A = this chain, B = another copy of it.
């Protein structure tokens, strides 16, 4: 169904990026401006011109789009069928261009498909599942203003001695917690004091919690548990120019002209959903279990990258284009950066000590290509890296920084802190509790080893064997056994150090000269599991985190791990539901899903802004090449290095 690339995805990278690696070295340092381009590739995002045309077509379909009563929440290329894209070659005509639009009209969710050539809406699904599209910026701004109209709210604020000019209210998503909020779009409101600071996140006005109807723009519920001291803004400034320090630097510029082979590995990979449950079940906090991709969108919250700091000097920048709620094209500059990285590590090395007189000391520096995008989902900043090594390895890294979601407390010292307050998390500043929470990022990895067919998922198990007495001086060893997953349920995997597997995606019809099937393996990094009960509403919606690994049969409509219409959804259209259909996945076109997670217990160092933490996983060739593909790379010599 949908592929809202620049709307909900952190980063979508086709394998063609690998080929960029070959050519970037010699290209000039221009910025890609998709706004000014015609589409050149079947998967190129919609251009400004195309977005305008979609708007015109929609206005003819439903007058609401002209009058403004119908609202566009997301618009993106409706990708052509995969087989058409795979067959397409440079010089061929593009497949028909279509747009997919998520819209709200008269309180109903619409999923529309628009054909640009014929000028027709070819499908318009109304409420295909429970739930609503991602919020628009208008939704957020309008909802955040609702409290100010309320007498009760203003009285509460006044009782706290806070002038309304100091107030800023944000809009945490409501989630879904049963039938009483169904049938209408609701959102929570949490307010802060922005007096003397831009880092209002550290100054919560605790104990005052609102629920708002987003369409009627009225308060449904207001809870006032009485005032809690608002933390002071001391030391929360983070902007440069308000603090004095000096740093002297020389900087990196790396280029490399090596190229990999032009064989398919992955058709598409992207962050499909982020699930961030907070661990405070109290009023005002129980609903904080965010689905950042489906509720707010990773594209719309991506701000321009900061040159020289978010990406190094040798980076190239790519713009993004979005559609406004009314369907106007919006250009977001510097959405993605691409750069070659030389971090000082080696691709391989060997010093020979056993051959006297040979003096063999061979080492090769590692140069990689990184594609990066960063989104700011309110307080939190997530940076997504897709890194390509010359040996074919793909590393995906998620880095988190920004501000904590904090809770106000009357206490300023852990000695005085009540047991109930301490339950939520540690005291990280005066009157500030850093509420414990988890982060889970679920990646959709449409692996196609050599072709979008004949792929299988093989669990390579390391099984401990007990040796009978007398057979060996050893008593035990590990033996490798391979299990081909027949159906989707065979591929629902919880990682365990004590039951180790490698996870191979192979094409058994493409064999090396030795007869090994061509493949890639998923290499998990550090990880964490969601431990919430399966009947807890956030976990029902976040059921895609019930396993760390899933493999599903390719289905064009199964892109969003929590469902296409995630906002207030009831968890009826998740990866868990699809996988439980238990389709055959042997020798098929299959999709790998991986969830990367971390628990976050805040500490003082996270105040007032968090040092970046990162986690990653890798996709690594396994018998994909006949031998080490980078055996022949050249060492660095002084004469090759730029003179500074």
Known contacts A381-B349, A514-B412; A631 and B609 CB within 8 A of each other: yes
Contact with B along A491-525 (1 / 0, CB 8 A): 00011111010100000000010111000000111
A528 partner residues in chain B, CB cutoff 8 A: 497, 500
Stretch at the interface among A33-41, A255-263, A551-559, A584-592: A255-263
Contact with B along A213-247 (1 / 0, CB 8 A): 00000000000000000000001001110011111
Q: How far apart are the CA atoms of A209 and B32 in the complex, in Å? A: 62
**Is A257 a contact of B247 with CB atoms below 8 Å?**
yes
Smallest beta-carbon distance A523→chain B, Å: 8
Dominant secondary structure of chain A at its interface with chain B: loop
Q: So how many copies of this chain end up in the complex?
A: 2
**Is B308 a contact of A247 with CB atoms below 8 Å?**
no
Smallest beta-carbon distance A52→chain B, Å: 25
Stretch at the interface among A103-111, A146-154, A267-275, A616-624: A616-624
The yes or no answer to A23 lying at the interface (CB within 8 A) is no
Stretch at the interface among A8-16, A64-72, A126-134, A360-368: A360-368
Contact with B along A289-332 (1 / 0, CB 8 A): 10000000000010111101111111100000000000000000
Smallest beta-carbon distance A254→chain B, Å: 6
The yes or no answer to A535 lying at the interface (CB within 8 A) is yes
A532 partner residues in chain B, CB cutoff 8 A: 464, 475-478
Smallest beta-carbon distance A152→chain B, Å: 22
A636 partner residues in chain B, CB cutoff 8 A: 247, 249, 251, 308-309
A347 partner residues in chain B, CB cutoff 8 A: 611-612
Smallest beta-carbon distance A385→chain B, Å: 8
The yes or no answer to A83 lying at the interface (CB within 8 A) is no
Stretch at the interface among A157-165, A396-404, A561-569: A396-404
The yes or no answer to A28 lying at the interface (CB within 8 A) is no
**Is A353 a contact of B537 with CB atoms below 8 Å?**
no
The number of chain A residues with a CB under 8 A from chain B is 179
Nearest 3 CB-CB pairs, A to B?
A303-B351, A252-B252, A281-B472
Stretch at the interface among A53-61, A423-431, A449-457: A423-431
Q: How far apart are the CA atoms of A80 and B374 in the complex, in Å? A: 50
- Tell me which residues from 590 to 644 in chain A have a Cβ below 8 Å from any Cβ of chain B: 599, 601, 603-612, 614, 621-638, 640-644
**Is B611 a contact of A628 with CB atoms below 8 Å?**
yes
- Contact among B238, B604, B626 for A350, CB-based, below 8 A: B238
- Tell me which residues from 462 to 499 in chain A have a Cβ below 8 Å from any Cβ of chain B: 462, 464, 466-467, 471-480, 494-498
**Is B628 a contact of A610 with CB atoms below 8 Å?**
yes
**Is B249 a contact of A640 with CB atoms below 8 Å?**
yes
A526 partner residues in chain B, CB cutoff 8 A: 523-527
The yes or no answer to A122 lying at the interface (CB within 8 A) is no
The yes or no answer to A339 lying at the interface (CB within 8 A) is yes
The yes or no answer to A370 lying at the interface (CB within 8 A) is yes
Told that A346-B383, A476-B533 touch, could you supply 15 new A-B pairs with CB distance under 8 A? A170-B354, A235-B627, A248-B257, A249-B256, A249-B636, A308-B365, A308-B635, A308-B638, A309-B349, A425-B480, A436-B479, A464-B531, A476-B536, A496-B496, A610-B628
**Is A637 a contact of B308 with CB atoms below 8 Å?**
yes
Smallest beta-carbon distance A77→chain B, Å: 24
